[in-house]
Amino acid sequence: MLTLTENAATAIATLVEGAQAPADAGLRISDSAEPGPALELALAAAPEPADDVVEAPGADGRGARVFLDGTASAAPSGRTLDAGADGEGRLQFGLREQP
C-alpha cells in the first residue's frame, strides 16, 4: 500500500485548497500516456469508482487524499510518496521504497 510523508500530505492539501476544490478532492495518480514507466498526477474532485483511496494527515493537521487509478495502483505499492521543492523552488513529488 502507498504511504505519504507529512510533506506530501501537506503539499497535496495546499494544492487542493489553492485550487478551491471540493473538500473531498485529492491528487489522482494514473499511468502516463507517455512511453516508459511513468505516472501522471492531477488534482481530482473525487475518486473514480475503481480508484484506491489513500488518506493521510499533513504536518499542519490538514488531511490529504490520493486516488490511485486501478491500472496504476500496483506501481506505487510498497512505496512512499514524498514532496519537496526542486532547485528552482518548484514542487516535485517522488516515490521511494518503504523501509
> Rounded to an integer, what is the distance from CA 35 to the centroid of its chain?
21
- Report the C-alpha gap between 80 and 33 in whole angstroms: 23
Q: For 33-42, how does the pLDDT look when each residue is reduced to its tens digit (9 = 90+)?
A: 777 667 889 9
Q: For 57-95, how does the pLDDT look when each residue is reduced to its tens digit (9 = 90+)?
A: 877 777 899 999 877 766 677 889 999 999 998 999 988
Q: For 5-53, how does the pLDDT look when each residue is reduced to its tens digit (9 = 90+)?
A: 999 999 999 999 989 888 889 999 988 877 766 788 999 999 999 999 9
Within 13 A of 83's CA, how many CA atoms are on the CB side? 21
User: In 10 A of CB 83, how many CB atoms?
Assistant: 21
Write out the three cell numbers for 15. Answer: 494544492
pLDDT of residue 73: 60
- Report the C-alpha gap between 75 and 61 in whole angstroms: 28
- Report the C-alpha gap between 80 and 4 in whole angstroms: 5
